[in-house]
């Protein structure tokens, strides 16, 4: 794969290599992609507001359809389902 970098990014890569932080441009790009992937995972996680809205929808659904969680709370159920 060939990648064309802007002069600003190329300067950043060259500075990182000359400083000894990275041995090769591939090492720098590998770390940059790892950081980007981690950010993507975090961005995909629901926000606290989205979680609260989902809990409210679940509560309303349960009340509307007269459902029971068998004595446990939604929070306990949620916590139990997390890895």
pTM greater than 0.85 (yes/no): no
Least confident residue range of 6-10, 33-37, 39-43 = 39-43
Over residues 48-74, the pLDDT tens digits come to 888 889 888 888 888 888 777 788 877
Indicate if the pLDDT at residue 75 is higher than 90. no
Closest CA to 31 of 18, 16, 44: 16
At residue 30, the pLDDT reads: 94
High-pLDDT (> 90) share of the chain, %: 43
Residue 20 predicted with pLDDT over 90: yes
């Amino acid at each position: 794969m060939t990648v064309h970098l802007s002069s600003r990014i190329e300067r950043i890569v060259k500075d990182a290599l000359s400083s000894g932080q990275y041995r090769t441009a591939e090492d720098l790009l590998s770390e940059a992609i790892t950081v980007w992937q981690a950010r993507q995972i975090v961005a995909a996680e629901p926000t606290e507001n989205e979680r609260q809205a989902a809990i409210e929808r679940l509560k309303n659904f349960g009340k509307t359809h007269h459902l029971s969680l068998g004595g446990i709370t939604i929070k306990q159920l949620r916590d139990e389902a997390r890895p």
